[in-house]
Amino acid sequence: MRITAVDVRDVRFPTSRSLDGSDAMNPDPDYSAAYVVLHTEDGEEGHGFTFTIGRGNDICCAAIEALGEYVIGRDLTGPADLADLYRALTHDSQIRWLGPEKGVMHLAAGALVNAAWDLVSRRAGLPLWKYLATLTPEEIVANVDWRYLTDALTPDEALVMLREAEPGRAERIAEIEREGYPAYTTSPGWLGYDDAKVVRLAREAVAEGYTQIKLKVGADLEDDRRRFAAARSAVGPEVRIAVDANQRWDVDEAERWMAALAEFDPWWIEEPTSPDDVLGHAEIRRRVAPVKVATGEHVHNRVMFKQLLQAGAIDFLQLDAARVAGVNENLAILLLANKFGVPVCPHAGGVGLCELVRHLSMFDYVAVSASMQDRVIEYVDHLHEHFLDPAITERGRYLAPAKPGFSAEIKRESLEHYAYPDGPEWSEN
């Protein structure tokens, strides 16, 4: 299973043309992937990507190319190899200067680490979530970088936690395969949609079985009140409506804005301020209670999540499959969340994030938290048609992926059509 080549592609979808994905900070995203394929000497493949929203995707591709040198020649067979690869990609002392463990280089490391897990779980013939569930507590703990975490969680505590959840793994796997995992949908709530579209999509979501939807807020307060009122009327009082400010506010502004939305009963406020602002989130949480606070899609590593938990800054932890350094760092984040009793509700949408995060939440249920209480995975109904193993929801729940691997693979024809800047979608439009 020696890696012989690392193939990197810049792929961009022109989503800004329809304002899908528009929010208060991101008015015109072109959902993109800095996409990587690892090739082995025996013809196997591992796929991974960094998700971006357009410009800068080329810089991520360059970073993946540069880090690819640390992957070529490596034998990737089992969990110990994955632990070694993760450390090699995040601990090179010269590369580390550019972060450490944040920004473009860390996004690139995540793409490669996820591609490696895709490769290894494909070879095991299992979807990633079930492959992870075959690992022993010791193997899981050995795949975490414990540096900077031990004041909140030690490897020994994590072992105890994982051993406690070992009984019942098989039953929970069967339950997931039978019933799936709860989802919520953001599709009705993009800021670029008019009220009628928001109402129509919100009604459709509830009719499909969703019990939680999400609206984007933060650009204009009167618009937000009008849209929220319309959505609340459309879905009734029982459906949870989360709101998402995409980092738009300072602390005082978050308090004022949320006070003005309180009458519509928001379930959580997501990314009220800078993702770097642990103490700001904690202060906002105190001020907007009983509305809950959620964040994580831009939280750049396990050290930041550790502090959000230590500071009591969040009610829901929204890990992202492709922001941190891949599966390994997300194992640390799942263990930290469980230690602090905070439900993980992953960020998804974009390109392929739904495909990836379902594996992490399902593994969390099987082997870490053993709970679905107040846990939901974000679902957005865009761009799944480009994936070989697309995310599927039914009656408001994610179905369990069954194909071997991490579901990151994009169809060959999509990679070619949306190649940037030379694919036909970009060169002919």
Which residues are marked as active site? 216, 347
Residue 355: which residues within 8 A CB-CB, separation 6 or more?
384, 387, 389, 390, 391, 401, 407, 408
- b/e sequence 83-102, b meaning 16+ C-beta within 10 Å: bebbebbbeeeebeeeeebb
Phi-psi region of 238 (alpha: psi -120 to 50; beta: other; left: phi over 0): alpha
CB of 330 to a copy of itself, least distance (A): 17
- Comparing CB distances to a copy of itself, the nearer of 231 and 282 is 282
CB of 28 to a copy of itself, least distance (A): 7
Residue 400: which residues within 8 A CB-CB, separation 6 or more?
127, 129, 176, 177, 180, 181, 358, 362
Among 14, 44, 56, 260, binds a copy of itself (CB under 8 A): 56
- Comparing CB distances to a copy of itself, the nearer of 3 and 152 is 152
Among 43, 93, 236, 290, binds a copy of itself (CB under 8 A): 93
Binding string, residues 231-270; x marks residues near a copy of itself by CB under 8 A: ----------------x--xxx------------------
CB of 146 to a copy of itself, least distance (A): 8
Tell me how many degrees the CA angle 181-359-74 measures, rounded to the nearest 5. 175
For residue 362, the one-letter residue type is M
- Comparing CB distances to a copy of itself, the nearer of 300 and 397 is 300
Among 84, 195, 229, 310, binds a copy of itself (CB under 8 A): 310
- Comparing CB distances to a copy of itself, the nearer of 23 and 364 is 23
Residue 18 touches a copy of itself, criterion: CB under 8 A: no
What is the distance between the alpha carbons of residues 287 and 376, in angstroms, rounded to a whole number? 24
CB of 148 to a copy of itself, least distance (A): 4
CB of 88 to a copy of itself, least distance (A): 12
* Residues in 144-183 at the binding interface with a copy of itself, rule: CB under 8 A: 147-151
CB of 93 to a copy of itself, least distance (A): 5
What is the distance between the alpha carbons of residues 268 and 258, in angstroms, rounded to a whole number? 10
Residue 102 touches a copy of itself, criterion: CB under 8 A: yes
CB atoms within 10 A of CB 192: 15
- Comparing CB distances to a copy of itself, the nearer of 59 and 230 is 59
CB of 211 to a copy of itself, least distance (A): 30
Tell me how many degrees the CA angle 293-295-301 measures, rounded to the nearest 5. 145
Contact at 8 Å (CB) between 64 and 34? yes
What is the DSSP secondary structure assignment for residue 411, as one 8-state letter? Answer: P
Among 43, 73, 97, 237, binds a copy of itself (CB under 8 A): 97
- Comparing CB distances to a copy of itself, the nearer of 60 and 419 is 60
How far the first Cα of the chain sits from its last, in Å, is 41
Residue 92 touches a copy of itself, criterion: CB under 8 A: yes
Structure tokens at 285: 């949480």
Residue 347 touches a copy of itself, criterion: CB under 8 A: no
For residue 200, the one-letter residue type is R
What is the distance between the alpha carbons of residues 361 and 375, in angstroms, rounded to a whole number? 9
- Comparing CB distances to a copy of itself, the nearer of 149 and 161 is 149
Residue 73 touches a copy of itself, criterion: CB under 8 A: no
Residue 224: which residues within 8 A CB-CB, separation 6 or more?
215, 217, 218, 243, 257, 260, 261
Q: Which residues bind a copy of itself (CB under 8 A)?
A: 25-30, 52-56, 58-60, 62-63, 66, 92-107, 147-151, 247, 250-252, 273-280, 283, 298, 300-301, 303-304, 306-307, 310-311
